[in-house]
Every structure is written in C-alpha cells, then in structure tokens.
Amino acid sequence: MRFVIAVFMMVVVSCQSSPAQQNIKEYTTAVPTSDSALFYLELVERNVLTPAGYTRAAAHFVAQDSLIKTDAAYLMKAGLTCMNQEGAYRLYGVNYLILLSNKFPEDRYTPEALLQLALFFDGALGDGERAVAFLRILLKRYPEHILATDAQALLDLISVSETGEIQTVRDWLNNE
C-alpha cells in the first residue's frame, strides 16, 4: 500500500508544471501577437509596414483604443498612422494627437503632434484657421523648442497664402 501511495505522489508531483514553466506561460501571454495593437506599434516603430499593413495597424489601434490612450508614444504612432488612412481612421488619428497634446503636455511628442495637426488641417482639410490655432498653441507652450522655428515659418506661410500672395508666387513659378 505504501508503494502505491508513493507512486501516486510521484505521478502527481511530476505532472505539475514547474515554476519555470509557469513563468514561460506568463511571458508568452504578454508578448504582442499579430492581432494586437502592440504588435503593430512595434512594426510602425521599425517602419516595416506596407501601405496595406498600415491600414491593418490603424484598424487594430482603433479596436484597442483604450490601450492606445495610455501612453504618449502610442498616441503619436497611432495618430500618425490613422491620419494617413482614408475614412474614419483619419478622425481617430486627429483625436489621438489632440488627446496627446492635452493629456501629456510635457511629453517630448507633444510639440511634434501639434505641428502634425497644423500640417494636416492646412494640407489635407484646407482649414487654415485651425492650423493657425495649433501653431499658436505650439509657439505659446514651447517657444524654445526646436520645432518653434518651423511652426513660425508655417504660420507666416499660412498668413501669406491667406492674402493671395502665395498664389502669385506659384503662378510665377509655374510660368518659368
């Protein structure tokens, strides 16, 4: 009888997973998979996606919106990725960059997010008024930032284009 109990105990102990195996299981569940936003954030970082890959990435960012909103770097990557897509993803991208500038005002990505918003509103949407607003926010909050010079130049360019002078220059260049 003792022999049977001893064999039974050995079988039970040998069938249990070791602490090392449990750690492996925990680690593998934390690794980004191809159907996760973390996976696509890594691919965006490495700049290895095709245009179709960026569209898939945008879909995953929107689907896992609550994760994206937790980190300034995530917001920046997701925002730029989504803004360069068609349809509703563009609006998510705009929202991500606006959220970044409001939720993480001291983050290193915030001045770039404001400049990207200004460029997007001016170029893609033709909304110079909103572009100017984002540029003014950037200049007011971060006057010493390296992008402040670019923001001021863009602000000057938008102001010139509103007066029609930029069209005169374009016409002249096209005739040369």
Q: CA-CA distances (angstroms) from residue 89 to 56, 117, 124?
A: 11, 15, 14
In this structure, the answer to whether residues 172 and 121 fall within a common structural domain is yes
pLDDT at 5 over 70: no
| Window from 18-22, 49-53, 131-135 with minimum mean pLDDT | 18-22
pLDDT at 109 over 70: yes
Residue 126 lies in a domain: yes
In this structure, the answer to whether residues 112 and 176 fall within a common structural domain is yes
Residue 24 lies in a domain: no
Residue 10 lies in a domain: no
Q: How far apart are CA 93 and CA 69, in angstroms?
A: 12
> What percent of the chain lies above the pLDDT cut of 70?
72
In this structure, the answer to whether residues 100 and 112 fall within a common structural domain is no
Q: How far apart are CA 138 and CA 165, in angstroms?
A: 25
How confident is residue 174, by pLDDT bands cut at 50, 70 and 90?
low
In this structure, the answer to whether residues 83 and 112 fall within a common structural domain is no
Range of the domain at 74: 33-104
CA torsion, points 44, 93, 153, 124, in degrees to nearest 10?
110
Q: How many distinct structural domains can be found in the chain?
A: 2
Residue 140 lies in a domain: yes
Cα–Cα nearest to 136, from 160, 117, 120, 164:
117
Residues 51-78 have a mean pLDDT of 94
Q: How far apart are CA 169 and CA 164, in angstroms?
A: 9
In this structure, the answer to whether residues 75 and 124 fall within a common structural domain is no
Residue 28 lies in a domain: no
In this structure, the answer to whether residues 132 and 84 fall within a common structural domain is no
> Which of 104, 125, 140 is where one domain is finished?
104
Residue 21 lies in a domain: no
How confident is residue 16, by pLDDT bands cut at 50, 70 and 90?
very low
Q: How far apart are CA 60 and CA 42, in angstroms?
A: 13
Strands (E) across 46-105 are located at none
> Which of 85, 104, 123 is where one domain is finished?
104
